[in-house]
Amino acid sequence: MAETLNIVFVLFPNLTQLDFTGPLQVLSRLPGSKVYLAAKSMDAIPTDAVLTLNPTCMFSDCPPADVLCVPGGFGVDDAILDEELMGFVKREGARAKYVTSVCTGSYILGAEGLLNGKRATTHWAYHEALTDVGAIPVKERVVRDGNIFTGGGVTAGIDFAFTLAAEIAGDEFAKALQLGLEYDPAPPFDCGSPGKSTNEALDAMNQRYRPRFEEFRGKLALAMKTQ
């Protein structure tokens, strides 16, 4: 019988739902997995896309994590200033076998010093701030450095989850899982990263992200001062 594998997702308001639900779909199928959705309270958590999430435990009573997974989203701005959430991440990050993030969730890890000197990635629009948390920026969809696994923006969380699944359960299990989930991407446009994007699409996304990025970076600096 497989040993129990405690997979803990950190929930906070206004997270990007696919940062969470993509990896959840994959990792919840690992042998012996038991998934915990940890939050400050048992209140429903609003996401960025109508869907609300129901925590299964609070930070105060969550079992020790074997896998700690932190999603991203615009809610990271406030999450990095939340002492209870950050204390939980620091505690679990120090003892989890695998410490992971998707998208801007990397900054929740980084603001607690967990990425210091580590190779890491995040959403392309936020990539340049990785040095603010002592990380070594790597422009790849999935980056591993020791027991730290970071995924790029949003959909990269699915690739991250399969990478971690292979690490935990082996390549053949991960391949079978990929087949079972029919994960065989064939997007209608080859425009999913800045290097492949049209100028029009890139301009539109820069207009969306740049003002938010500057505000985020100010909050990140404040969070780093309280480390």
Which residues are known catalytic residues?
Answer: 103
CB of 32 within 8 A of CB of 4?
yes
Phi and psi angles of residue 50, each rounded to the nearest 5 degrees, phi first: 70, -45
CA of residue 183 relative to chain centroid, distance: 19
Which tokens is 201 given?
Answer: 């699409």
CB of 2 within 8 A of CB of 32?
yes
* SS3 call for 5: strand
Which tokens is 188 given?
Answer: 């209608």
Using CA atoms, how far apart are residues 182 and 178, in angstroms rounded to an integer?
A: 6
CB of 143 within 8 A of CB of 119?
yes
Query: Residue 141 gets which letter from DSSP?
Result: S
Please name the residues in contact with 218: beta carbons below 8 A apart, sequence gap of 6 or more: none
Kindly compute the dihedral angle of the four CA atoms of residues 142, 11, 19, 204, in this order, to the nearest 10 degrees. -110
